Amino acid sequence: MDERLATRLTATAEEFDQILALLGDSDVLADQARYREVTGRHAEIKPVVDAYRRYREADTEARDALEMAAAEDDAEMVAYLNAVHEAKNAELEEIEVELRKLLVPKDPNDDKDVIVEIRSAAGGDEAALWAGDLYRMYERFAERNRWAVEPIDVSLSDTGGLKEATFAVKGRGAYSRFKFEAGPHRVQRVPKTESQGRIHTSMATVAVLPEAEAVEVEIVDGDLEIETFRSTGPGGQSVNTTDSAVRITHRPTGITVSCQDEKSQLQNKTKAMRVLRARLYQQQMAEQVGERASVRRSQVGTGERSEKIRTYNFKENRVTDHRVGLTVHSLPQILDGDLAVLHEALIADEAAKALADA
């Protein structure tokens, strides 16, 4: 083990001992926010400390076996001790690989709920139909993971597709998977309206925002311009007859969000504020890492056909994720929300890049 890794592990073990002491501190126990912070950190680094303890134990056994073999006269015992030494060295290599993986920084947003925005892009009516297919795919994906889907703002096209849709997905770990869906999605298929049987290429864009807590983003009331208007989408008896829809503009950034999914103006305002908070949070994250453009803009691109993170080819029953060069021939299963094979490859790629940078 190199000195840099050993230093990190020693510091982590010392921090773990400090956390154990804090968990018995009455002041920490009385402060719910502080207690959640401490227990969260405890859960995060305990696997690292457990693995490091196994490493030190195996290292001690390897050294002891080598010393005993050097002092032993019995050839059979020497052979046994040398075998123990080799086995422990092999175990040390395995544990070191495990430790390096455990020390890869975790995305702090991975456990958050998400807000997903789908928009039809290049392709006209077919793009809107494709956006609707993606919406249903994500509903099934959330259902498979026992996450709740909450519509926020849905705008239908004249052909039954989606112009755009904003919805929340609530459940532990939602962002850790949905973040891989951000970007332009390209479909290649024969549209229902195509009489000549020609394959068309259409696009829909997906943006994925970690949902922020109120304490994570400060919004000043005076910075908001709030408008109400009559809802235009399908809904209950009062949806299209009262000014229940809400549009909020954040003046300092120019970000505008709207919601018309609920009958109540107050409920629509609450949902719109959640979307605004998520967009501001992501912009804040982008600024913190020194990016000039917002993460959301980098996710969705321009919506042109040449830009894509994934291609869905109906004729060939093929789905290709261009980020990792993975192609699978299981289009119906993917559209039914079974994204596991794609996400496993993306997670492995993300971990490999993080290890290379560590």
The least confident of 3-12, 155-164, 178-187 is 155-164
Cite the DSSP H helix spans in the chain. Answer: 3-22, 26-30, 32-71, 75-102, 124-144, 174-178, 265-288, 295-300, 331-335, 340-357
Residue 241 predicted with pLDDT over 70: no
* Residues 195-224 pLDDT 10s: 677 888 999 999 998 888 765 777 888 888
- Structural class in CATH, domain 114-211+307-357: alpha beta
What integer pLDDT is reported at residue 301 of this predicted model?
53
Would you give the end-to-end CA distance of the chain in angstroms? Answer: 14
Band of residue 157 on the pLDDT scale cut at 50, 70, 90: confident
Q: Where are the domains of the chain?
A: 3-102, 114-211+307-357, 216-288
Q: Are strands 310-313 and 183-189 parallel, antiparallel or unpaired?
A: parallel
Closest CA to 200 of 134, 127, 306, 309: 127
Q: Residues 263, 219, 302, CA angle at the centre, nearest 5°?
A: 75
CATH topology of domain 3-102: Methane Monooxygenase Hydroxylase; Chain G, domain 1 (1.20.58)
Check if the beta carbon of residue 301 is closer than 8 Å to that of residue 206. Answer: no
What integer pLDDT is reported at residue 300 of this predicted model?
52
Ordered strands of the 255-259 beta sheet: 224-229, 245-250, 255-259
Decide whether 3-102 matches 114-211+307-357 in CATH topology: no
Number of helices followed by number of strands (H, E) in the chain = 10, 11
What integer pLDDT is reported at residue 71 of this predicted model?
92
**Strand pairing partners for 167?**
116, 151
What integer pLDDT is reported at residue 288 of this predicted model?
61
Closest CA to 342 of 354, 316, 324, 355: 324
Check if the beta carbon of residue 145 is closer than 8 Å to that of residue 246. Answer: no
> Taking the domain 216-288, which CATH number applies?
3.30.160.20
| Structure tokens, 206 | 């997906």
What integer pLDDT is reported at residue 236 of this predicted model?
42
pTM higher than the cut 0.75: no
Residue 295 predicted with pLDDT over 70: no
Check if the beta carbon of residue 145 is closer than 8 Å to that of residue 198. Answer: no
What integer pLDDT is reported at residue 258 of this predicted model?
85
* Residues 99-137 pLDDT 10s: 988 887 777 788 889 999 999 988 788 899 999 999 999
Check if the beta carbon of residue 155 is closer than 8 Å to that of residue 164. Answer: yes
* Residues 129-148 pLDDT 10s: 999 999 999 999 999 999 99
Closest CA to 255 of 216, 210, 297: 297
